[in-house]
Amino acid sequence: MTLIADGRGPASTNPALSVAGIGELVSSADPDHTLVCYGLGSCVALSAWDPRVRAAAMAHFMLPSGAGGGPPVKFVDEGFDRLLAALRAVGGSSARAEFKAAGGASMLAVMAGALDIGRRNAQAVEARLAGAGLRLAASDLGGSAGRTVQLAVGNGRLLIKSVSGTKTL
């Protein structure tokens, strides 16, 4: 698996690394490829990996809902179907896919109430999956720390890095 710090320079110069910025999605069917979302705070990364064909897609959702415009997956409600379409475009199937999510942190104590975007993002992702008859295979949602996630297309392993350490889903 290609990691962020692989000795070849910045991630943007690594052809085996695709980065989903805020409101963006990435996909691949190359088993040597890694999909990345950097700096998730209240944002949620949702990955879909099809183990049969080793194809994957990952979205970096910013908000639970909103009115059009902006990046393709800025909003969970509008971007979820685009994530599934991206998986299909690289030969994957949502029916076979393993879905994993990370992020949704409450970054500011003042936001812990009804305006807690992180919690609302996580709930929106779970609701969209349930509405499509799908479910999370694993997740690392909530808390108060930011995260960076890397999805290895070859084996579906989701590596999560935060200030408290590194773990694998």
The residues annotated as belonging to the active site are: 43
The Cα 125–Cα 104 span in angstroms is: 10
The Cα 97–Cα 99 span in angstroms is: 6
Let me know if 29 is exposed, middle or buried by CB neighbors in 10 A (0-12, 13-18, 19+).
middle
Q: Facing residues of 99 across strands?
A: 48, 136
Let me know if 95 is exposed, middle or buried by CB neighbors in 10 A (0-12, 13-18, 19+).
exposed
